[in-house]
Amino acid sequence: MSSGAAAAKAVEENTAIKSQRVVLFLGSESNQKRLFYPDGLIFEKGKSYTLVIENPSNEIHEFDAPGLAATSKSSQVKVLDGYGGTALPVATVVGKPDEMIVNSGGSVEWTFIPAKAGTYEMICDVLDKSGKTHTELGMKGMIVVK
């Protein structure tokens, strides 16, 4: 079985795989900074991850990493009613997440297996009052898959 086929099979049997949890913050709780924290993430091809995307800021933000989503085996995306240890799922999306818009105080958990090594951009294309996107205002980062 090829490594890609093995990764796809592993996603289908997600209950048998322990995913590594990685937390990414969109913005900051104490101010309106438009940033990803951390602004760089490293994943290993073929391993299972649950990326917890939390928005503690008072603005809507977007997590968009189109290259990573397109080349990963996604098992599910959970939409949560808040963030932190007490957040509960309110919806589950099955499939590849092209863009995830996260409201202020909300979070999303994306479980996936990166299938292709490379460098992928993280962006937030939410429009600011100025007419520029948060990405244009500096909210961007990089994801490396080894």
Of the options 3.50.50.60, 2.30.30.90, 3.65.10.10, 2.60.40.420, the CATH number for the domain spanning 3-145: 2.60.40.420
Q: What is the pLDDT of residues 96-126, one digit of tens each?
A: 787 899 998 999 999 999 999 999 999 999 9
Confidence of residue 88 (pLDDT cuts 50, 70, 90): confident
pLDDT digits (tens, 9 = 90+) for 5-15: 444 444 444 44
Paired with 64 in beta bridges are: 123
**What burial letters (b/e) apply to 2-33, b meaning 16+ CB within 10 Å?**
eeeeebbebbeebeeeebeeeebbbbeeeeee
What average pLDDT does the segment 124-139 reach?
A: 92
- Provide the whole-model pTM: 0.81
What single string gives the DSSP state of each residue in 105-123? T-EEEEEEEE-S-EEEEEE
| Distance spanning both ends of the chain, measured CA to CA | 21
Average pLDDT over residues 12-23: 71
pLDDT higher at 5 or 64? 64
Strands 36-37 and 61-63: unpaired
